[in-house]
Amino acid sequence: MTQEFTFQRISTSQMQTEDLKKKYILQKILGYGRYGTVYKGVNQRTQETVAIKELRHSIDDQGINAQALREIEILKSIQCQQIVSFKDLAHGQNKIYIIMEYMEEDLLTALKRNTFSEQQAKMIMFQVLQGLAYLHNKGIIHRDIKPNNILNRNLEIKICDLGMAQNLKKLKPQTIRIQNHSYRAPEVFLGLLNDQYQVDVWSAGVLFIQLLFKDNLFEGSSDYASFQQILKYCGTPQEGNFVKDNIENWNGVTSLKNYSTFIKEDPQPRTLKAILEKKMSPSLINLVDSMLTLDPSQRITAQDALQHPYFCGMNIQRCLHTIQASRKKVKTEQNTKTDVFNYPNGNKIIVVSQIFQKSQNCF
């Protein structure tokens, strides 16, 4: 753990917040992650609905664990409409709680219900890329872009879970144990530790396809299986400077640490475009193809992807305006519901709240 992320440093102002239960009412569980549970809650004073991420408080000799501190530090330093905003920090016995803005659902939940039209996927990806370009510009790599970490409220999109994120301006990458293997960039499998900004662009490209096809083309039961899917669709990277549509060149690839672990078979051609043609327009295929370029130094950056002709005429304000306008059309009916929440310490809270039901055709 570095000195910057010690308990003392974060504790002076932040840890003096009131205890969680004095300030917030927990309503229900929104999701589980590797590091804790996320609850929906209400701020008792302002009545604002919030998301509360509970992190297990594994105290070591320096205080809260490094991962939690990193997430808090990064969240607090961010002000971007496409990244979930930090509101408060609270603590309970052996637990720390990050209070964040509340969103309706994550994209994994949305995908279980439906795929998206190309227009919807375009709006989603424009916002994801906007969030990534913001992070990368600040020197931060997210390193865990996947549908469960992209939150959705009627197509308004926010990236969450900065638990794996790293600020490259403070610390150089020290591990390749990042990203869910089905969204993992080829250079991470192969052991390249250089600037890792481009790993997020790869994951976003995988996500883009999934929004339209429902399935993740690179899904695998293991690291090895996922990498074989990459070879199947993106071809085997080869040394040399050539421009050929179905062959991927990547100078230096054969000397990467894990090359011989993952690449054992005869070279395979790149077939991605032919697959994408089934559901995507030519301009979108070109963009996705650029996001899924094997060599990270040739892969399009998040900032350049936003300038790609596919997004011609789009800007973030117009995109959000379109979303808000369509939201007004949503017919809502009010209802009430009762939630009973049991605090881990045995206290019980009963909450009667208003709910808004969306009409059938609203995404």
Ligand X SMILES: Nc1ncnc2c1ncn2[C@@H]1O[C@H](COP(=O)(O)OP(=O)(O)OP(=O)(O)O)[C@@H](O)[C@H]1O
Q: Which residues are catalytic?
A: 144
Distance CA 155, CA 146 (A): 16
Distance CA 205, CA 228 (A): 17
DSSP state, residue 218: T
Please state, in angstroms and as integers, the Cα–Cα distance from residue 166 to each residue in 64, 131, 173, 283, 297, following that order: 17, 15, 8, 32, 20
53 annotated binding-site participant: yes
What minimum distance in Å lies between the beta carbon of 141 and ligand X? Answer: 15
User: 27: helix, coil or strand?
Assistant: strand
Q: What is the DSSP string of 56-125?
A: E---BTTBS-HHHHHHHHHHHT---TTBPPEEEEEEETTEEEEEEE--SEEHHHHHHH----HHHHHHHH
Q: What residue is closest to ligand X based on CB?
A: 33
Q: How many residues bind ligand X (CB under 6 A)?
A: 21
Residues in region 65-124 near ligand X by CB under 6 A: 84, 100-103, 106
Nearer to ligand X, 68 or 201 (CB): 68
Would you count residue 161 as binding ligand X (CB under 6 A)?
yes
The window from 155-163, 225-233, 262-270, 324-332 that contacts ligand X (CB under 6 A) reads: 155-163
What minimum distance in Å lies between the beta carbon of 271 and ligand X? Answer: 30
Question: Which tokens hold the place of 210?
Answer: 């999934």
Would you count residue 149 as binding ligand X (CB under 6 A)?
yes
Would you count residue 200 as binding ligand X (CB under 6 A)?
no
Please state, in angstroms and as integers, the Cα–Cα distance from residue 229 to each residue in 10, 65, 253, 344, following that order: 43, 35, 18, 43
Going residue by residue from 27 to 66, which x/- string records binding to ligand X, judged by CB under 6 A? ---xx-xxxx-x------------x-x-------------
What minimum distance in Å lies between the beta carbon of 104 and ligand X? Answer: 7
Nearer to ligand X, 10 or 190 (CB): 10
Would you count residue 26 as binding ligand X (CB under 6 A)?
no
What minimum distance in Å lies between the beta carbon of 111 and ligand X? Answer: 12
Would you count residue 131 as binding ligand X (CB under 6 A)?
no
Candidate residues 151, 165, 212, 291; the one interacting with ligand X per rule CB under 6 A = 151
Three-state secondary structure readout of 220-276:
CCCHHHHHHHHHHHHCCEECCCCCECCEEECCCHHHCCCHHHHCCCCCCCCCHHHHH
Which residues contact ligand X by CB under 6 A?
30-31, 33-36, 38, 51, 53, 84, 100-103, 106, 148-149, 151, 160-161, 163
Binding-site residue set for ATP: 53
